[in-house]
Amino acid sequence: MRYLLRVNMSDLTITKEDLPAGWARYGGRALTSAIVFAEVPPTADPLGADNVLVFAPGLLGGTNTPNGGRLSVGAKSPLTGGIKESNSGGQAANALGRLEIAAIIVTGKPADPDARYMLTIEADGSASLSRVDEWAGVQNYALADMIKATRPEDDRYSTITNGPAGEAGLKASGIAVSDMKGLPNRFAGRGGMGAVMGSKGLKAIVVSDKGVGTPAHADKEAFSAALKTFSSALKEHPVSGQGLPTYGTNVLTNILSEAGGLPTRNFSEGSFEGAEATSGERMREVTLERGGDVSHGCHTGCVIQCSRYYVDKDGHYKTKGPEYETVWSFGADCGIDDLDDIAELDRICGEFGLDTIEMGATMAVYMDSGKIAFGDGPAAIAALRSIFEGGEPGRVLGDGAEATGKAFGVAHIPVVKHQALPAYDPRAVQGIGVTYATSTMGADHTAGYTVATNILKVGGDVDPLKAEGQAELSRNLQIATAMLDALGFCIFVAFPVLDIPEAFNAIFEMTEAHTGQPWDADALMQVGKETLVYEKLFNDRAGFGPADDRLPEFFKNVELPPHNIKFMVSDADLDSVYDFVPEVAAQMGLE
């Protein structure tokens, strides 16, 4: 029976609670958003005692569902000022799922602001807080080693850790989650969740699931049959079965550059002359030459296997991936075409606990000010280190692109709801512009990945250079994505789900067979809609309005080479994306 684990950092108590009946069909993002909506005053200080920090595996977390082991981290965001769900791979979600913990809810904050705590959850379900003040300021990789020294040698455990950026309250800080080798290289990066964790005095969470099996299925035979269908679809689809396993997420660099949608030098161009040098194809060659790992999963049960380990010239592990978004943000967006420089920037972010999307976009904005040159990798590395080591530009970078742009007088600051845009220019991929503008999360490509249909022609074909059909495409994908996040799926399962009907059917068949409750396509989509209702209503009550569901003006006024196109989707279309909210809110009994 799934339950909630509530950790009160004000009085250092830990209690177990029954999962409310109304949330029985929720997991992952649906549950984090429901809890934040129910418990956090919309105008609360994100770093105050009234905010909560929620860690939730998906509804299918802990099972052997293919690619079903993602973790949702939710809170009111110190970066956007609205509700936030940040999503991560790694082992923690499956560990929590095996222990049948639906969510960890961290409330309050310690009376002593210098206190640091570690939450330990043992395989028998017991939980405790221990004071670890000596770990203050310790970087993520060293912290992983320190935690390892406290655990039995034969233990099986996962970690969720907070680096110095989160402890310092930086708005671009994220939370690290350990991978299958125990490396803290998977991240709930977006929205400043590390700062919320830091405000709670929580340095680390350890979850042991040694000897704990997967949760029982209501109908094991039916679950296994649906699982096989789903797994086969993941392997069959050319994107999830060939492109991603072979070249990783960075397979997209050449594709987006050729499509004219790869934001380059702070969104001033759509193609990067260094794309080939930083591409997934080139990264694979370099990694193989150096003896690195070119294909593994970021968590147990991954079928797609798009993760990899990047190694330095001596063959020593440097960092994960780097993933496409990181290669873009520190690569094309900064005009840097050296993979080793990009990997070093990724490692620095990993050590300190910074979101690579936000920080790469921030660095590009800083470069646009003229303080350092586009393409200067060593200068970018020095600037990133200055956040913690002093010198110019210093801490301001750690609060993100908008803060940096304002501090250095940059005209073009690519943010929505104060969060930096990811690796697709909305002028060349009009659908993703709708998602950026309207998502409850701030600019977020994963909220409704229209690139699938606009560029990769998965799930249909909507012309990326035209406004027609983009609002409807984004709306449908935002609903579907919220559903996938609720179940704990990796976003990449969307590729076969959009093209292979049996794959979509297998999702509700697995969910029904596991839970013993009736599920169908409508029930899945209803969970997605309800998730978005919680988020939209929270943001409305926090003071967001239609003006916040817009891209920066320069996207509508400045043409992007090589297509020489502007963002053309109308405000009316943007305002139509969430037109389902009033009806669904009424069904939920919400006003």
Domain regions of the chain by residue span: 3-208, 245-425, 431-499+520-591
Report the predicted TM-score, pTM, of the whole model to 2 decimal places: 0.98
Cα angle for residues 509, 512, 517 (degrees, 5° grid): 155
What is the arithmetic mean of pLDDT over 523-541?
98
Pick the CATH number of 3-208 from 1.20.120.790, 3.30.1360.30, 3.80.10.10, 3.60.9.10: 3.60.9.10
The rounded distance, in Å, linking the Cα atoms of 206 and 4 is: 16
pLDDT tens sequence across 546-576:
999 999 999 999 999 999 999 999 999 999 9
Reported as a single tens digit per residue, the pLDDT across 384-443 is 999 999 999 999 999 999 999 999 999 999 999 999 999 999 999 999 999 999 999 999
Mean pLDDT, residues 508-531? 97
Arithmetic mean of pLDDT, 102-131? 98
**What single DSSP character describes residue 23?**
G
Token pair for 336: 């840097």
Other CB atoms within 10 Å distance of the CB of residue 152: 9
Average of per-residue pLDDT across 452-461? 97
User: What is the predicted pLDDT for the residue at 353?
Assistant: 98
Q: Tell me which residue of 104, 219, 111, 91 sits closest to 158, measured CA to CA.
A: 91
pLDDT at 293: 93
**3-208 and 431-499+520-591: identical CATH topology:** no
- Mean pLDDT, residues 74-90 taken together: 98
Nearest residue to 45 (alpha-carbon basis) of 200, 216, 211: 200
pLDDT tens digits, one per residue of 321-352? 999 999 999 999 999 999 999 999 999 999 99
Whole-angstrom distance, CA of residue 204 vs CA of residue 159: 7
Provide the terminal-to-terminal Cα distance of the chain, rounded to the nearest Å.
31
Q: What is the pLDDT of residue 213?
A: 95
pLDDT digits (tens, 9 = 90+) for 67-79: 999 999 999 999 9
Burial 17-54 (b: 16+ CB within 10 A, else e): eebeeebebbbbbbbbbbbbbeebebebebbebebbbb
Q: Which of 17, 339, 322, 353 is nearest to 167 (CA)?
A: 353
Are 58 and 30 a contacting pair, CB within 8 Å?
no
| Backbone angle region of 325, left / alpha / beta, with phi > 0 → left and psi within -120 to 50 → alpha | alpha
Rounded CA separation 516/518 (Å): 7
Check if the beta carbon of residue 445 is closer than 8 Å to that of residue 585. Answer: no
Give the CB-side neighbour count of residue 214, counting CA atoms within 13 A: 16
What CATH code is assigned to 431-499+520-591?
1.10.599.10
Residue 556, amino acid: K
Residue 591 confidence (pLDDT) above 80: no
Six token digits for residue 243: 């492109």
Mean pLDDT of the chain: 97
pLDDT in tens, 144-153: 999 999 999 9
Q: Do 311 and 75 contact (CB within 8 A), yes or no?
A: no
Residue 60 tokens, joined = 């299918």
Task: With CA atoms as reference, report the closest residue to 491 among 249, 247, 224, 227.
Answer: 249
The fold adopted by the segment(s) 245-425 is: 1.10.569
Q: How confident is the model at residue 462 (pLDDT cuts 50, 70, 90)?
A: very high
The owner of tokens 């512009």 is 433
Query: 181 exposed, middle or buried (CB, 10 Å; 0-12, 13-18, 19+)?
Result: exposed
Residue by residue, DSSP assigns 491-531 as GGGHHHHHH-HHHHHHHHHHHHHHH-S---HHHHHHHHHHH
